[in-house]
Structure 1
Amino acid sequence: MKVKSSLLLLLCVAAVAGCHFTPSPWDGQWTLHEPKSHFTAPTLSIALSPDGVYHVDDGAIDYLFRCDGNPYPTTNGTGGFISCTENDPKILVLKRNTNGPDSTNSRWELSDDGKTLTSIDRLIQIGGSTKDKQLVYARESGTSGFSGRWKATRPFDFRSKTVVLILNYNAFHFEDQEWGQFSDSRLDEPPTPIRGANQPFGFSRSVKTLGPRQLQTEDTCAGRVIRRTTWKVSDDGKTLYEESWVPKNSAQKDLLVYERY
């Protein structure tokens, strides 16, 4: 299992080097405790112009494309592309290239009454297998078709149930297994790319120290800050707090609480 392998490798490297390695309070696998957490439901805005151009805004990035099977850029020249095929008026098939070896595929399905949008994302797992992740949105605006503003019905489906953190020699490792995302950033240094089989191009992360048990990360997309997060480990080392917000609405903060098992 990758979680155990990551930690074991870290310990072995320290032993070989002859170091007396002491795990930091951050190190290990953390499991989300939903009842103690609050996460604002993500939204998705879709507009279709009269000449057939879709404009999609997911809060982090916005992009334009036609549903003609051709690739269209998504992240301001950083390498991301999307293509779309329309199977029927209520189904769109999307293909995105990522910074992994393969592209990811999504299927948007509109309910018969037009009130629900279901996104089925085929996520690439470690080892190359795939797993479908289903995300459901309810219509907030718009009257027909895919156009309108959509709000997630199950917000926690957008977050991983477990994360792995390792802090060693000023290097902060973050690993999200469910979404196949990981980053390795050095404290108080320039941002480094966020990687992974399902991770779109153009995303980076930086980390700075706020205290012995407190850090802040800043995520950017194509050079634009999209989210800031404060991480804090409790004094007993059993609880991890993740408080995050988007710069344009810093008053509205999400709080995710993780526990060590």
Structure 2
Amino acid sequence: MKRGLQLLLIVCLAAGRSWAVSDPFVGKWKLDPSRSKVTDLMRVAIAGANKYNLIFNSGGVETVLADGTDQPGLFGTTVSITVAGPNNWTVVRKKNGRTLLMGNWKLSEDGKTLTDAFTSGQPSGSMSTVNYVYIRTAGNSGFPGSWDSHSESVHSAFELQIQPYEGTGLSFINASEASTKSMKFDGKDYPRQGKYVAPESVSSGRRVNDRTLELIDKIKGRIADTQRIELSPDLKMLTVTMQPSGQSKPNIFVFDRE
């Protein structure tokens, strides 16, 4: 349930400056939730007595004892699992003691569907809740198994800013995720920045043509996702097709120019 973006360009310095000013990707873009779709993937595996491995879209594994206590998680966060009943878990992620995400998981009676009342923090400091529905793709009973989201609509809009970067590149700024990707399109890996960005996160990319970019995000050398960013012929719409590694369906984000 989480998402980000990237950057571009090439050529020599003088030409690069004039290009950056007129680059059609530069500007402010507003997400249109009605035309965007997100698929979410998670896996839960038994790791011992009352202990579980949690694997979300990033692919990293977190091993958590389900006793309600905060335990070390990915990217400097903590994770806790509280078992409220055989079919009800509460999963909480924190950073520096502050709650970032909280999921209230409930299983259907037949064990084939998992609903998640997912609460997350917003840049304003407020919290918002969205209800997600997952279907079981592996496993037989309980929370252990593989789950794909059944709810594909995006429930909140956010703004993406694209700015020139060092003459021949671009910066992609996602305020909702407090993240920035800045790069030149020379095939090299560029580090991503932001307080919630995973350590050793880098991005690279290439320009396919004047209105299309292809990007790769990596975490600790492993590909996390690939992206294709396309401008409409009238340059008023931006479509980002993101394919997370290990996920069958891509996430599609459609933005309108502000």
Q: Calculate the TM-score normalised by the size of structure 2.
A: 0.72
The amino acid of 1:193's aligned partner reads R
Separation in 1 of the partners of 2:218 and 2:79?
20
Q: CA deviation at 1:239?
A: 2.0
Q: CA deviation at 1:213?
A: 3.3
In structure 1, the residue corresponding to 2:76 is in which secondary structure? Answer: coil
The amino acid of 1:184's aligned partner reads K
Residue in structure 2 matched with residue 128 of structure 1 by the alignment: 125
Separation in 2 of the partners of 1:247 and 1:173?
21
Separation in 2 of the partners of 1:128 and 1:42?
24
Contact 1:80 1:201 in 2 (8 A): no
Q: CA deviation at 1:67?
A: 0.8
Report whether the alignment pairs 1:28 with 2:28: yes
Residue in structure 2 matched with residue 152 of structure 1 by the alignment: 149
The amino acid of 2:30's aligned partner reads W
The match for 1:95 among 69, 92, 104 is: 92
After TM superposition, where is structure 1 displaced by more than 6 Å over at least 4 residues in a row?
Answer: none
Q: CA deviation at 1:243?
A: 2.7
Residue in structure 2 matched with residue 65 of structure 1 by the alignment: 64
The amino acid of 1:148's aligned partner reads G
Q: Deviations over 1:107-146 (max 9, x none)?
A: 3322341332122332212232211232221223333211
Alignment CA distance shift 1:254-1:133 (3 Å): closer
Q: Percent of counterpart pairs with the same letter?
A: 20
Q: CA deviation at 1:66?
A: 1.0
Measured on the aligned residues, the alpha-carbon RMSD in Å equals 3.3
Structure 1 segment 108-257 matched on structure 2, within 5 A: 108-113=104-109, 114-157=111-154, 161-169=157-165, 170-175=169-174, 177=176, 180-188=177-185, 190-195=189-194, 199=196, 201-202=198-199, 204-210=201-207, 211-246=209-244, 255-257=252-254
Contact 2:80 2:91 in 1 (8 A): yes
Q: Calculate the TM-score normalised by the size of structure 1.
A: 0.71
Alignment CA distance shift 1:247-1:43 (3 Å): closer
Alignment CA distance shift 1:203-1:234 (3 Å): farther
Q: Which has the higher contact order (CA 8 A, sep 6+)?
A: 2
Contact 2:115 2:132 in 1 (8 A): yes
Structure 1 residue ranges without an equivalent (≥5): 1-20
Structure 1 segment 2-21 matched on structure 2, within 5 A: none
The amino acid of 2:192's aligned partner reads P
Q: Deviations over 1:190-224 (max 9, x none)?
A: 4323536xx46437342434144333332223432
Alignment CA distance shift 1:103-1:226 (3 Å): same
Separation in 2 of the partners of 1:120 and 1:33?
19
Contact 1:85 1:92 in 2 (8 A): yes
The amino acid of 1:105's aligned partner reads L
Separation in 2 of the partners of 1:238 and 1:47?
45
Structure 2 residue ranges without an equivalent (≥5): 1-19
Contact 2:239 2:253 in 1 (8 A): yes
Aligned length: 231
Contact 2:174 2:180 in 1 (8 A): yes
Q: Deviations over 1:209-254 (max 9, x none)?
A: 41443333322234321101121223321121223334568x9755
Separation in 2 of the partners of 1:191 and 1:103?
29
